[in-house]
Amino acid sequence: MSIFDNIKSDDSIEGEEDRLGGAALLDSGAYPAKVNLAWVTESSGGAMCINVNFNVDGREVRQRFYATSGRAKGQKNYYETKDGEKRYLPGYNMANALCLLTVGKELQAMDHEKKVIKLYDPQAKAEVPTEVPVLTDLIGQEIILGVLRQTVDKVAKNDAGAYQPTGETREENEVDKLFRHRDSLTFAEIRAGVDEPKFLERWKAKWTGEIRDKSTGGAGTTKASAAGKTGTGGSGKPTESLFG
């Protein structure tokens, strides 16, 4: 008697497929997408981060938007220039634009629910069930993503505990710009009262098929993208905002 006697083959069940490991990266370009999941975490230094998993034609694009500074800088969603001018943090601008272009509400006004999802735990070195605030209104919302394929430094902690480049690089996708799904307008165009989307075509003309090099040796240069490469790529609603 075999130990597998209770296991039977069934022709109605699809068998093994030939697949290479690794999640394929998207080439730089504009892609219609849908929000699979959006949740909030806080870094060890106190910076609030909006984590979003997008679905692009069955492929997942993950993006983090750091919406505030850390505790040492007051957990603010802006910074001050040398001239004393206040500017919103880029991560806040992106997270806020995502909310406005989909739900029509600013980030500060978004409702959230505590839900348990699987997140990577560096101590356990595995994904573990974790309770986090989930921005439920964003789930299922449609958006157009301006996605960049870029080269970045691999980093590791030095003896002082600070991250520094290792001398090696890796490729990743980054969401660089957001466009409203129904008319391709950006938040800035909507705020300016523009009816005809123009920035999307300008963005595509500059970035489609390009690879942005953000590595230490790259100095922000771009190069033509080589197709075919692969890489890694609750309770009731509270009444007060997480970002108030």
Interval 173-229: pLDDT, tens: 999 999 999 999 999 999 999 999 999 999 999 999 999 999 997 555 666 654 443
Count of domains forming the chain: 1
pLDDT, the chain, mean: 85
Single-letter amino acid, residue 80 = E
What number is the average pLDDT over the span 116-129? 91
For 96, phi and psi rounded to 5 degrees?
-65, -40
Residue 61: name the closest of 73, 53, 70 by CA.
53
pLDDT category, 95, cuts 50, 70, 90? very high
Which neighbouring-strand residues pair with 131? 116
Checking if the pLDDT of 89 tops 60, the result is: yes
92 assigned to some structural domain = yes
What is the structure's pLDDT at 14? Answer: 47
3 assigned to some structural domain = no
195 assigned to some structural domain = yes
What number is the average pLDDT over the span 114-130? 92
What is the structure's pLDDT at 241? Answer: 55
Q: Which domain holds residue 145?
A: 24-226
For 129, phi and psi rounded to 5 degrees?
-60, 125
Give the chain's count of helices (H) and strands (E): 3, 13
What is the structure's pLDDT at 19? Answer: 47
What number is the average pLDDT over the span 104-127? 92
Residues of the chain above pLDDT 70, percent: 80
192 assigned to some structural domain = yes
What is the structure's pLDDT at 152? Answer: 95
78 assigned to some structural domain = yes
Checking if the pLDDT of 242 tops 60, the result is: no
What number is the average pLDDT over the span 30-54? 96
What is the structure's pLDDT at 113? Answer: 95
What is the structure's pLDDT at 90? Answer: 96
How far apart CA 82 and CA 80 sit, in angstroms, is 7
172 assigned to some structural domain = yes
Checking if the pLDDT of 68 tops 70, the result is: yes
CB 103 within 8 A of CB 143: no
- Check residue 109 and report its DSSP letter: G
Q: Which element (helix H / strand E) includes 187?
A: helix 187-191
SS3 state at 7 = coil
239 assigned to some structural domain = no
How far apart CA 82 and CA 75 sit, in angstroms, is 19
User: pTM of the full predicted structure?
Assistant: 0.80
What is the structure's pLDDT at 199? Answer: 97
CB 130 within 8 A of CB 120: no
pLDDT category, 74, cuts 50, 70, 90? very high
What is the structure's pLDDT at 11? Answer: 54
159 assigned to some structural domain = yes
